[in-house]
Structure formats: C-alpha cells, structure tokens
Amino acid sequence: MAVERTLSIIKPDATCRDLTGRINARFEESGLHIVAQKRIRMTLGVAEKFYEVHRRRSFFDDLCAFMASGPVVVQVLEGEDAIARNREIMGATNPDNAEEKTIRRDFGESIEANSVHGSDSLETAAREIAFFFSDIEIVG
Ligand code: CMP
C-alpha cells in the first residue's frame, strides 16, 4: 500500500446540519490525516466545472445547484491507500445502499444530499486536489 492523497468535500446538507466535526472525526479515527481544509461557497460555475465529467448526466443541473446552495468544506485527506479507504468510510453513493457505520448511511439524506464526495482514482484525485488547492496550502 502506498501513501496517497484524495480530495474530500463535505457537502451543503452536512455543513448546514453542523456535521463537519463528526465527519472529520470519522476520517481521523480511520487513519486519514486532514492535510488541507477550507470552508467555501461554490458558485454555480465552479460547481459545473468541478463536476464537468457528469455534464451529460440527467442529474447534472440539480447536482450543481445543490453544491452551490450552501457552504462546503473542501479538504485533502492523506494516508495509506487513502482513495479506497475514504470510499469505504463514505459508503455507497446512495445512502440507502451504504453499509452500516459509513458516513453516507449515518448522515446522508438522499443520493444527491449524500453528505460527502471523495475522489475515485489517483488521476481524479490529482485533478480534484489541484482544482481547489495550491501546493503551499497542503501541509502533511
Ligand atoms: P459525488 O461523489 O459527489 O459524485 C457525483 C454526485 O452526483 C454523487 O456524489 C451524487 O451525490 C450525485 N448524484 C445525484 N444523482 C445521482 C445518480 N442518479 N447517480 C449517481 N450520482 C448521483
């Protein structure tokens, strides 16, 4: 296993319910270090650019509007096998299908308002981290 970095986003449904601390505890208790973090409000344009890969999907417009609807916490998580590890901790995209004790199962409200986003591959992680952070903002 290699030490990796992954991009995580705590979504508006979670920040609005003050779940940031409880979600961060899940990461830290699982051995993922938060090496960069900021709370921002995405514009619609920023959300559309971030989710560009989903542009042709039926849920694209709703997804982008939701991500721009309130504050989000964007963060870089670092640790052994961080990309797969974070996906385990998050659980399946649809909270109804997520395993017990995962973030989406415990906190997610719907497939859209599913509390967290995490990168799905090394390539995606590199792109998504660079989308929000410069090297100087990531402190391992
Ligand atoms: P996320 O990991 O942020 O990546 C894309 C998001 O689209 C996904 O989580 C879901 O919140 C959202 N989404 C909304 N509807 C769907 C759907 N039908 N299938 C997959 N993702 C969806």
Dihedral over alpha carbons 98, 99, 100, 101 (to 10 degrees): -80
Nearest CA to ligand 1 atom 12: 112
- How many CB atoms within 10 Å of residue 15? 19
- Looking at residue 137, its pLDDT comes to 98
Ligand 1 atom closest to Cα of residue 90: 2
Q: Is the pTM of this model over 0.95?
A: yes
- Looking at residue 140, its pLDDT comes to 92
For ligand 1, which residues put their CB under 6 angstroms from it?
54, 59, 63, 93, 111-112, 114, 117
Maximum alpha-carbon separation in the chain: 39
One pLDDT digit (tens) per residue for the chain, 140 residues: 899 999 999 999 999 999 999 999 999 999 999 999 999 999 999 999 999 999 999 999 999 999 999 999 999 999 999 999 999 999 999 999 999 999 999 999 999 999 999 999 999 999 999 999 999 999 99
Residue 44 sits at φ, ψ, to 5 deg, of -60, -40
- Looking at residue 12, its pLDDT comes to 98
24 alpha carbon – ligand 1 mean position (Å): 21
Rounded Cα distance between 101 and 140, Å, is 27
Rounded Cα distance between 115 and 122, Å, is 22
Which two three-digit tokens encode residue 27? 């990461």
Which two three-digit tokens encode residue 69? 């609807």
- Looking at residue 15, its pLDDT comes to 98
Give the residue numbers annotated as catalytic, written as ranges. Answer: 117
Q: What is the best residue among 93, 128, 131 to mutate for testing ligand 1's pocket, by most ligand atoms within 8 Å of CB?
A: 93
Rounded Cα distance between 38 and 98, Å, is 27
